[in-house]
Structure 1
Amino acid sequence: MYRRFLLIFLYLYALIFSAAKTIRMPNQWAQSHWLVDYRFGFIKRGLAGELFGFLFEKNAFSITVLSIAILSVLYFLIIKIALKTTWSNPKSYYRILFFVIFLLSQYIIFSAHLIGYLDHVVFLLTILAVYLITKNKWLPASVIAVFSIFIHEISVVLMLPVCCFAIIVNQIHRREFFIKNIFSRNLLTKLTLFLILPFLTVVFISFYQEINGENYYPQIFSYLKQSSIPENVSDSVCSAYTKSFTYYFSEQYQHFIQRIFISKATIFYGIPILFSLWIIFKEFKLKQNIQLFALLIVVSAVPLILHSIAYDTYRIWTFPYMILFLGFWILSLKCRAENIQTKHEKLSWWESLFFITAFLFVSLVPAVLFDGETERFSMIIKLILILPILLVLYFLKKAPAETD
């Protein structure tokens, strides 16, 4: 019981510390996305605003309440998954370190800073879809994926790869996984059943956007300005809603290599991501199945493709954290289903150094925020606030797991 209390405190404290650095009310970009709907005809990302307008009056207050509710549910599920996954193997210290890094990560920091963004809805739906897949309910998960793509096309790189990973892991014995097994008739059938509806949805939205998207720019721009959205924000949002994917690719692709390999995020985000991958590798004994580990690396890296069409580099770099969080959950559920308990191992000195480095990067390095904002805690305050985390980690390392 003592150990469980420490875990609950640790995870909640880490999440609150991360969110408190940057949390704010929904900015005008987020508000605009909830205001846009199908009143002028079909438009990508219009479903969220359409449903919102059907249920509530569209104003800043209702958007704020909805945004807080969505983020709260997402945080609740994240904490619940982290705790249940940790308790499923209470002797593993690796699991605790993984979730501490995730809860301190830039994903949590940006999720609070970008409250109201449709990304949060996409990840909520992804959690639901993955849960359904683990229960062998492919078609309901596929319908949710379609729904998510209509809310935001970013679902293609955030939701679909991790759902496919869940299907693959759920269908193949973890110790017998080989890439060639993905091409078995049984697994290909399940992947096709899941992907056919989302694929048709993506094709429809893409072609429609290429042909008709820009026709709606004047109406949406005028509507947003009448809704008290500043002209520069209205223009940016209208471009995001009406410009084609090929337009953004032609504008941004030349920066892709630099954003992946030669940016500050490459170091400050990349090292904690590498540590998270290492923890997964060790925790689930993936040395015995390197092909499964390689598949997870690919799935977690897929969101970085967005660097070729979007300029918000730091936001995009946060997505692999959430994908790895979901991947850890999927692998943990598979181990539980196969009744596999990984052996408890002590951290080596270099693993401890690796953790400390990743820990300092996610907890102390200031995030580059939107709208010219900065984190509200100074370096001194952050140094003081991380002490309870280190103290609880020390006690958890010393506390006997049998007390669970």
Structure 2
Amino acid sequence: MASFKITGGLKLSGEITPQGAKNEALQILCAVLLTSETVTIHKIPNIIDVVKLIDLLGDLGVEVKKLSEESYQFKAENIDLEFFGTKEYTQKAASLRGSIMLLGPLLSRFGKAMIPKPGGDKIGRRRLDTHFIGFEKLGAKFLFDNKSSFYHIDASALKGTYIHLDEASVTGTANIVMAASLAEGKTTIYNAACEPYLQQLCKMLNRMGAKITGIGSNLLHIEGVSELKGTEHTMLPDMIEIGSFIGLAAMTQSEITIKNVGLEHLGIIPDTFKRLGIKMEFRGDDIFIPSQQSYEIETFIDGSIMNIADAIWPGFTPDLISIVLVVATQAKGTVLVHQKMFESRLFFVDKLIDMGAQIILCDPHRATVIGLNRQINLRGISMTSPDIRAGVSLLIAALSADGESTIHNVEQIDRGYQNIDKRLNALGAKIERVD
């Protein structure tokens, strides 16, 4: 297990370029299974979850060729379906939540699949019903073995149908879209997720020969086709990294330029951080964050306390709620942070309280943050990263704190952020990785 030793209180400066989007990568990489032809993908982030998924694809028989640091070619011509019955498959698929998105392409192209209950962050309940109800409505039959925690799915004759999702699940929508792309007839998905990453998947599938309309809305229509071709695809910049860097600049009073952010795909993320008082300038496709001595949280028009909550797209992404909470600890003013989707995601605030932050954890979903306005600096402590987003939030807090901090279990951070210690050290941070 690795740890970070962080020297806090240093101002950073310079330019940083966000990695390719983790949440898009997990969908796009699974989609290569839909065709026997070559698929070339650019801007693939070098993070643990993505590396694990590429490794798993190779074990399934996909030919994987690394073209450069961020570009790969994939050819899923000879898939080994017998690999599903191996102990190695069970171990690898169970350790990666993104493995659930293997199901849609495998069912669509091969008519069957099996998968262990996937892993991932312990941030609360993350049910898979949406995926399986969608597959069932397309004609699939599945069995869950409680003893082995294995899902067995038979989909020898998928047919298009009308599906009204009970939740606008991003991965659920992606899985059903991929399954429907080769199904017989027309599929309509209502209450579909419409995140930019889901839009990217649909556009990629259309270039491969799929017939998907309604992209960017919550009503998708998929006309099934008999086969899909190869294509080339470039992933978007990671919006969660971009939001993290905005928060980092504010907390450390740093002047940072975030390069090539894909501004048109960021939705309300910049405006949400502006409501915390963070200044920024848009320079072409870059975001410039000036050094700020202080930043003040807005109130609502009637003077009431600001409330920032997550929501399905085009609302504010839940993956940045932890960053908002940390940034608010040194702002002037008070904010109620409401994490609606995951009931365990705010439990890391006890570490921030130990660092000197003034936070009231109202319940598993809500925390009130009383900003210190830099009158009292956070202090360095020893802590453990519970999940990807909380881990980076604690890293930001440590970089702004007085003294030295230690963060254990940084493999959690590595699952979502590419070489984060080296990239921030290049801006003037002092982060040492130790075993």
Q: Which has the higher strand share?
A: 2
Q: TM-score, normalised by structure 1?
A: 0.30
Q: Where is the helix percentage greater, Structure 1 or Structure 2?
A: 1
TM-score by length of 2: 0.28
